[in-house]
Amino acid sequence: MREIISNIAIDIIMWFARFTLRQPFLAASDKIEVTQNELILRILRENAQSKYGKKYGFEEILSVQEFRRKVPICDYNELEPYIKRQQQNQCELTVGAPLFYARTSGTTGRYKDIPLTKSGLNQIRRFQQHLAYSLWHKTDFFKGTVLGFFSPGVEGTLPNGIPFGSASGANYDSLSFIFETKFVIPKEAFTLNDVEAKYEVYALSALVFGSTTGVFSVNPSSLLKVCIMIEKRSEELLTALIDDDQSKILSGSALILPKLIAQLKPNRRKVLSRVLRSKKTISPKILWPELSTLVTWTGGSCGIALEKLKNYLPSGVKVVEIGYASSEFCGSVNVDADRNICLPMFTDNYYEFASLQDWGSKNPVFLSLTELEPGQDYYIFVTTASGLYRYNINDVVTATEGIGNCPGLRFLRKGKGVTNITGEKISEDQVISAVSKGLKFENCISDTYLMLADEELNKYFLFVELADEKSLGNLAEMIETELRRSNCEYDDKRASGRLQALEVRRFQNGAGQAIKNRFLSQGVRETQYKPPVLVCWKDWAEWIDKWAEKGKT
């Protein structure tokens, strides 16, 4: 009865969102240039009296052309002094004071504190509402229970009392009560410092709730780890649930176990009990018979884990792209879950772009949303109402099919995800495509792979972790052929002998987890982890020596 009532309530909320949120947004996509121009001028007016606004003359700027002429492109390092002073209650980047700081762990360097004003927090809510509407409209995501993997919203407070935490956690914390009841993983799990204990709770929750129709996991590797844990530790996990035996689970998850046992319905208990007594390993593929939809990131290196994850999911599960999102801003949101069309949040952020070739020039030409060409790749620069001005996040995005006059945006890779030994400029997306095709051709499933550029030997090495001892066969040749097809400069350098042939070697078992642990120890949040794909040998030489089955020579 409770589920029926909550579903009716969600229906009412979503019908209201259709007329107050979605339809106005789609209508504005037909006049995208006017909407964007009005937005940037409003942001400048609202923050003209900030220190940054006074320095660059926001008050006098009356056009996009003036904005681009007077306000420079910047990155976090250039804004950090303003952010630090702003944390001392000074009016630095915005007139409105930040109410929250999204702390991004990133994959390199120290953490960043990204300010979010009231406008920024409202943008997160709109992002969430748009995604929820798309899922409600096109899928059965909310029909039953939902497994949602999140970081804690508030992780601490700054000296001035302003909270900081993860953007995904802030997203979860802004859920209305009705939607929150759908997400069944106990919130206490998100704050566990012991990562293995956290995943035990995730796995136990997945076993308890058989009516799961939706899974939300920003990073597909999180759900993949849950599936592998259930597959390998079925008996231990089921014994904990059915017999309340805590001897084989960690102390952190044992604290939450009683809460999960209390929610185990009689029919589900009978099913799990039969599996336990049969001594059979429970397959995640039959764990969620009603699973409709997986919502996750599909772009960049996340696609590696996603391909393996699909082997654990029931056939027919729809994979829905969340959209291009970061701690800095919500870049795009899924407005069509059938076609995975993700429109930029053009009513909240002002967007600029530069082509890959032009960004490296002395005077790059900046483009607006209406000037993008579908299928082309661009560097993206964003101005937000929370104090990021012409912000260079070092991301490369692809313009995709859109709606109205507005193109869609899909994350492709980090801008620094390129190696260049002798002019070939190989990118992460080229590596992912080539390796994926090679593995598929050889009928291999890789737990982890890492491409390394060796400048001393003028060649690339690919290290692959495989679940079995299957021969690598013609994998190197297949990948090399695909790289030469997709990258004319690589083809030219190979033909001339300036680059040596690609060499494929094996990783020891556990290398993928070791790579992940390396980043987690540097402060990267588990939910934000994206496996590296393309790196330089000199930066990883010592680590490779430990995890390669054989040395370089």
Annotated domain spans of the chain: 120-321, 418-547
State both tokens at 303. Answer: 């696609």
Pairwise CA distance, residues 44 & 93, whole Å:
11
Q: Where are the beta strands (DSSP E) in 345-437?
A: 350-355, 377-383, 391-403, 406-414, 418-419, 426-427
State both tokens at 410. Answer: 């899909």
pLDDT band at 357 (very low <50, low <70, confident <90, very high): confident
Nearest to 482 by CA among 257, 455, 474: 474
Pairwise CA distance, residues 410 & 297, whole Å:
10
Residue 552 has pLDDT above 50, yes or no: no
Residue 125 has pLDDT above 70, yes or no: yes
Q: State CA 480 to chain mean position distance.
A: 29
pLDDT tens-digit readout, 254-308: 999 999 999 999 999 998 998 888 877 777 777 888 999 999 999 877 887 888 8
Residue 109 has pLDDT above 50, yes or no: no
Residue that the structure tokens 């040998």 belong to: 537
Mean pLDDT across 27-38:
94
pLDDT of residue 470: 67
Helix axes 118-138, 2-17, angle to 10 degrees: 110
Pairwise CA distance, residues 531 & 524, whole Å:
11
Pairwise CA distance, residues 547 & 553, whole Å:
15
Mean pLDDT across 78-102:
93
Nearest to 417 by CA among 515, 533, 524: 533
Residue that the structure tokens 């019908």 belong to: 15
Pairwise CA distance, residues 58 & 44, whole Å:
5
Mean pLDDT of the chain: 89
Category of 425 on φ-ψ map: left (φ > 0), alpha (ψ -120 to 50) or beta: left
| Cβ neighbours, 10 Å, residue 106 | 19
Category of 319 on φ-ψ map: left (φ > 0), alpha (ψ -120 to 50) or beta: beta
Are 345 and 35 in contact by the 8 Å Cβ rule? The answer is no
**Longest Cα pair distance anywhere in the chain, in angstroms?**
76
Percent of the chain with pLDDT over 70: 97
Q: What pairing do the DSSP bridges indicate for beta strands 145-149 and 212-217?
A: parallel
Residue 91 has pLDDT above 60, yes or no: yes
Nearest to 10 by CA among 140, 175, 178: 178
DSSP secondary structure, 474-496, as one string: THHHHHHHHHHHH-HHHHHHHHT
197 Cβ neighbours under 8 A, 6+ residues apart = 250, 251, 252, 253
pLDDT tens-digit readout, 139-157: 999 999 999 998 887 888 9
Give, in order, the Cα–Cα distances in Å from 191 to each of 105, 194, 364, 410, 472: 16, 9, 44, 31, 41
Pairwise CA distance, residues 86 & 97, whole Å:
8
Give, in order, the Cα–Cα distances in Å from 343 to each of 369, 401, 408, 450: 10, 9, 5, 32
Q: What share of the chain is helix, strand, coil (3-state, %, to 5)?
A: 45, 20, 35
Architecture of domain 418-547: 2-Layer Sandwich (3.30)
pLDDT band at 551 (very low <50, low <70, confident <90, very high): very low
